[in-house]
């Protein structure tokens, strides 16, 4: 990124925010004035150069040169959005290799300090108990030669207890400062590790428009994803999945202009892609106004690879009067997450707090009515006594219970990518411990069909 002094996070965050504003500005215009676009890019390039962000400055410089000779407004917008997204990804790549490693160490240090503080508290309690025992010795009728020694030992223990209490207080203060600073840093830098989804959909809109024209099927793709951002590792896979679904809708669903007029529809077909995010899940809706009752779409091997990489679920919604409606559900990607460690028959697991509705211990009324999230086949649950503790998942209005032993309090981690062969519910790993998401277990309505992943129900 830079061969000079390290770049401050504030500078990168400010530049990334300005790039996002330019992306939003471009997406709102059908034909942005070239001179205004070049002026904005020039300002961004100068800011990147002054900050020492050489890779970003180079990308923006190349874009300025390329746009000067581009006459097609659509190609100009798509090219600019693609390059601007690449600039954010270039900064994200630098952070993934450097700052996240530091964040991981800081979070590990925070956990260690927390354990030390706990041990100090326990040690203080043990010393207090020893002092009480010695006090009892003093009140008993001891020999005259033991009394000065016991008094001196009692005083020493009291001093040790006072010092430990002071040390524990200072450690808690330091731990609080570290936790506050780490949380602030995590929140700030996470903004550089996500990119707007809008450029991907604008680029897809132009591709579908050209493809429709070539096939004699004029089509308008309407993206609705204002403010939606996705993790940098998700961009390519998500883009390929949406491209496949949009092309299939065009090829197999939308009719020719003659067929549409005969059916009483507008000549130009409509394809809507709407995205929104919740606490723990990105939901993308792909809907067209073509033929209905087309049957279940096939999920080819190439698409399965990307869906598995996203840990996604693809659903076919009930048929309406027109067209087909597909829903893509993807766990939200974050560079760091807070997790709750639990023990299950499948081993120790980490559950993101974003999907935990509540934690329970002991018997609780009403849990039997909730669907059971089992990480093994459900038959395995009937052969063993269920634990009396666990977590209740709450995702997008769906609730389910996972019976598990609570192993510790929650803490923040930096998860790595899932390993090859991991089941769909594993969304990442922390030092070989799986991080799980209940998305594959969410129950469907009677009319919904799960196209991916294959279920074990």
Q: Based on the number of CB atoms within 10 Å of its own CB, is 371 exposed (0-12), middle (13-18) or buried (19 or more)? A: middle
Domain identity same for 277 and 351: no
DSSP string, 361-374: ES--TTGGGSPB--
CA distance 217 to 257: 7
Domain identity same for 399 and 316: no
Q: Based on the number of CB atoms within 10 Å of its own CB, is 361 exposed (0-12), middle (13-18) or buried (19 or more)? A: exposed
CATH of the domain at 175: 1.10.287
Say if 348 falls within a structural domain.
Answer: yes
Answer yes or no: are the C-beta atoms of 156 and 192 closer than 8 Å.
no
Answer yes or no: are the C-beta atoms of 423 and 112 closer than 8 Å.
no
Q: What is the pLDDT of residue 187?
A: 59
Q: What is the pLDDT of residue 433?
A: 93
Q: What is the pLDDT of residue 382?
A: 45
CA distance 159 to 156: 5
Peptide bond into 178 cis (omega under 30): no
Q: What is the pLDDT of residue 251?
A: 93
Domain identity same for 133 and 158: yes
- β-pair type (219-224, 269-277): parallel
Q: Summarize pLDDT for 237-256 with one digit per residue, the tens.
A: 999 999 999 999 999 999 99
Kindly state the tokens that stand for 64. 């300025």
Number of structural domains found in the chain: 3
Answer yes or no: are the C-beta atoms of 284 and 328 closer than 8 Å.
yes
* Better-scored residue on pLDDT, 166 or 325: 325
Average pLDDT over residues 292-307: 87
* Better-scored residue on pLDDT, 98 or 260: 260
Which phi and psi (to 5°) does residue 123 adopt? -65, -40
Model confidence pTM above 0.85: no
Q: Summarize pLDDT for 311-355 with one digit per residue, the tens.
A: 999 999 998 777 899 999 999 988 788 899 999 888 899 999 999
Answer yes or no: are the C-beta atoms of 312 and 243 closer than 8 Å.
no
CATH of the domain at 269: 3.30.565.10
Average pLDDT over residues 426-445: 92
Say if 380 falls within a structural domain.
Answer: yes
Q: How many residues does the chain have?
A: 457
Residue at which a domain ends, from 291, 316, 333: 333
Residue ranges making up the domain that contains 274? 218-333
Q: What is the pLDDT of residue 387?
A: 74
Residue at which a domain ends, from 333, 367, 402: 333
Domain identity same for 342 and 297: no
Domain identity same for 226 and 325: yes
Say if 296 falls within a structural domain.
Answer: yes
Domain identity same for 322 and 418: no
Residue at which a domain ends, from 170, 190, 210: 190
Domain identity same for 260 and 273: yes
CA distance 155 to 160: 9
Q: Based on the number of CB atoms within 10 Å of its own CB, is 264 exposed (0-12), middle (13-18) or buried (19 or more)? A: exposed
Average pLDDT, the chain: 81
H or E stretch at 154: helix 147-190
Closest CA relative to residue 106, chosen from 47, 179, 164, 23: 179
CA distance 151 to 155: 6
Q: How many CB atoms lie within 10 A of CB 431?
A: 9
Answer yes or no: are the C-beta atoms of 242 and 204 closer than 8 Å.
yes
Say if 4 falls within a structural domain.
Answer: no
Kindly state the tokens that stand for 206. 């132009």
């Amino acid at each position: 990124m830079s061969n000079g002094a390290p770049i401050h996070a504030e500078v990168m965050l400010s530049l990334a925010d300005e790039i996002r504003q330019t992306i939003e500005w471009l997406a709102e215009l059908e034909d942005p004035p070239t001179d205004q676009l070049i002026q904005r890019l020039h300002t961004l390039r100068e800011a990147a150069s002054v900050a020492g962000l050489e890779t970003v400055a180079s990308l923006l410089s190349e874009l300025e040169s390329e746009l000067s000779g581009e006459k097609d407004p659509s190609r100009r917008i798509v090219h600019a959005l693609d390059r601007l997204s690449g600039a954010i990804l270039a900064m994200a790549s630098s952070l993934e290799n450097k700052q996240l490693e530091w964040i991981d160490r800081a979070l590990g240090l925070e956990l260690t300090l927390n354990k030390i503080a706990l041990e100090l508290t326990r040690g203080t309690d043990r010393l207090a108990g020893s002092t009480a025992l010695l006090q009892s010795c003093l009140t008993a009728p001891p020999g005259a030669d033991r009394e000065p020694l016991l008094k001196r030992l009692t005083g020493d223990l009291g001093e040790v207890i006072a010092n430990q209490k002071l040390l524990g207080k200072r450690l808690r203060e330091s731990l609080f400062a570290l936790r506050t600073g780490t949380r602030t840093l995590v929140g700030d830098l996470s903004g550089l590790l996500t990119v707007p989804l809008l450029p991907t959909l604008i680029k897809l809109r132009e591709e579908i428009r050209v493809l429709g024209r070539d096939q004699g099927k004029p089509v308008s793709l309407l993206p609705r994803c204002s403010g939606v951002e996705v993790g940098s590792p998700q961009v390519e896979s998500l883009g390929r999945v949406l491209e496949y679904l949009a092309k299939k809708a065009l090829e197999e669903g939308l009719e020719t202009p003659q067929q549409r007029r005969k059916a009483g529809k507008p000549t130009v077909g409509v394809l809507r892609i709407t995205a929104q995010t919740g606490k723990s899940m990105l939901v993308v809706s792909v809907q067209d106004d073509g033929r209905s009752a087309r049957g279940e779409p096939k999920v080819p091997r190439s698409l399965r690879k990307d869906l598995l990489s996203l840990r996604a679920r693809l659903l076919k919604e009930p048929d309406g009067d027109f067209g087909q409606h597909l829903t893509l559900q993807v766990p939200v990607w974050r560079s760091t997450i807070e997790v709750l460690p639990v023990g299950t028959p499948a081993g120790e697991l980490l559950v993101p707090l974003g999907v935990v509705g509540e934690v329970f211990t002991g018997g609780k009324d009403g849990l039997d009515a909730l669907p059971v999230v089992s990480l093994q086949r459900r038959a395995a649950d009937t052969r063993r006594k269920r634990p009396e503790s666990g977590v209740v998942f709450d995702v997008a209005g769906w609730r389910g219970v996972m019976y598990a032993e609570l192993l510790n309090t929650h803490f923040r981690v930096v998860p790595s990518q899932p390993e090859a062969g991991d089941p769909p519910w594993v969304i990442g790993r922390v030092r070989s411990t799986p991080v799980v998401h209940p998305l594959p277990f969410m129950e469907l309505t009677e009319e919904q069909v799960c196209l991916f992943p294959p279920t074990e129900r």
